[in-house]
Amino acid sequence: MARLHLFDLDGTLLHGSSAPVEISRQLGLEAETVALDREISAGRIGPPEYAARVHALWTELTDVHVTAAFESAPWLSGIEDVWAEIRGDGDYCAVISLSPSFFVERLTAWGAHAAYGSRFPDVPFTKPVDPAGILSAAAKVQIADRLCEEFGVSRADCVAYGDSLSDRDLFGAVPVSVAVNADLHLAGLATHSYVGLDLWDAYELVRRVGN
């Protein structure tokens, strides 16, 4: 049976950072967004408020900024190698993140079968952000279920990789999970735990025997 590997982005594929922080760095607004990351990580604000506040910060955002943020971000090493092996084994890999879809979706070029993020207006912004398009921890599970249906697998065939509060629901919904450089919100929930800078080492904790 094929497996579906589900990857978080912020703090998981990106080490010690988030897509909004990397985007804001290009605009000289890193400190403001780091503060927002702390608020949402602590549960003091929810995803819709977070999205509205970063949207308000990004009045000067262009696609050039987004490209620069993506290319200079602190990615874990080995992402493309891991996804190439997953695909080669006939398995599936997807990214589900609360970060803006215009950043997350770029990961399909690295080999992800699918990449889902919160829906923001097109860059540069001329419209407000719609709260209905902003993902939540519960939405990650809903998207995972849709991907299971699309790829012909079940929750029992899923492996989740994450680091924080937004991954708790998904970790509780699938049988195998890998906490990657995780915070205390995932303590005791993950099947495996990894601390480091290479996704391949995290993947090896759940890699098929014989590979």
Which segments in the chain show pLDDT lower than 70? 209-211
Instruction: Write down the pLDDT at residue 210.
Output: 64
Spatial separation of the C-alpha atoms in residues 138 and 126, rounded to whole Å: 29
d(CA 10, CA 21): 10
Q: Write out pLDDT tens, residues 40-70.
A: 988 899 999 999 999 999 999 999 999 999 9
At 95, give phi and psi (nearest 5°): -115, 130
Q: Cβ–Cβ contacts within 10 Å for residue 79, how many?
A: 21
Instruction: Report the predicted TM-score, pTM, of the whole model to 2 decimal places.
Output: 0.96
Quote the tokens at residue 77.
Answer: 């090493």
Strands (E) across 34-157 are located at 92-100, 114-118
